[in-house]
Amino acid sequence: MMRDKRRLLLLSSSRTAGTEYLEHAREYLRVFLNARARTLLFIPYARASENYDDYLERVRINFAGIGYEVIGLHHSGDPVAAILEAEALVVGGGNTFRLLHELYVNRLLAVIRQRVLAGMPFVGWSAGSNIAGPTICTTNDMPVVWPERCESLNLIPFQINPHYTDAVLPGFQGETRAQRLQEYTRANPKVTALGLREGSALRIEADDIQLLGLYTARLFTAGAEREIMPGEPLAELLAR
């Protein structure tokens, strides 16, 4: 059996209250990347409302502060070859449907999965974390465009709900985030979903998984839910 070489850092968000872009995650990124790669390949496809070059520059400035160069996949004439040659991959947030749509259009899902399972570091935030699961069905986003399918990278055997919140607006009559995830897991009883609060992250190294940050995460299974504490053993999530 092939040895598990997965290395993923999955951030719920690019910001948290009172911080600048990716500021809260700099130490997570520094420890995770650990100078094993110096040039990071960035996928900006999730950003529907911003020029890719503007998005790349914002990301580049932040990673330069911790010693990494970032290049944009959209500048490559052969995206598949760029993935095959990449030292590490960074996938930004935005609209999950658009991101997955572009990955299908460019036929990148299989090659990304192949490289990550072989040990290429993968960093994602928001939509970029959502696509690490089996599908994007627990995204919060509106389907501004339909991807070929909802199946995504399947690098982890559970769903992520980024930006998870318990907040309820005064007078709001719609379902809460928890109710939506309860509905999903009841309708799909073999699926596990993890609500990842802003400022939190998951670090996955082969069969080891850690919840990083100051906040709990909420785990949803069919008919049940519970809070996960930072530092709590989470191997069960990778075994599901």
| Closest by Cα among 59, 63, 46 to 100 | 46
Mark whether 24 is an active-site residue. no
Q: Are 162 and 13 in contact (CB under 8 A)?
A: yes
Within 10 angstroms of residue 85's Cβ, the number of other Cβ atoms is 12
Mark whether 13 is an active-site residue. no
Active-site pick, 12, 14, 101, 141: 141
Q: Are 8 and 196 in contact (CB under 8 A)?
A: no
Helix ranges (DSSP H) in the chain: 26-33, 52-64, 79-85, 96-105, 109-117, 127-130, 177-187, 235-239
Mark whether 14 is an active-site residue. no
Active-site pick, 12, 14, 126, 129: 126
Burial 49-66 (b: 16+ CB within 10 A, else e): eeebeebbebbbebbeee
CA–CA separation, 140 and 189 (whole Å): 20
How long, in residues, is the chain? 240
Q: Token pair of 223, please?
A: 């008919």
Active-site pick, 4, 74, 76, 163: 163
Q: Are 19 and 62 in contact (CB under 8 A)?
A: no
Which residues are the active-site residues?
126, 141, 163
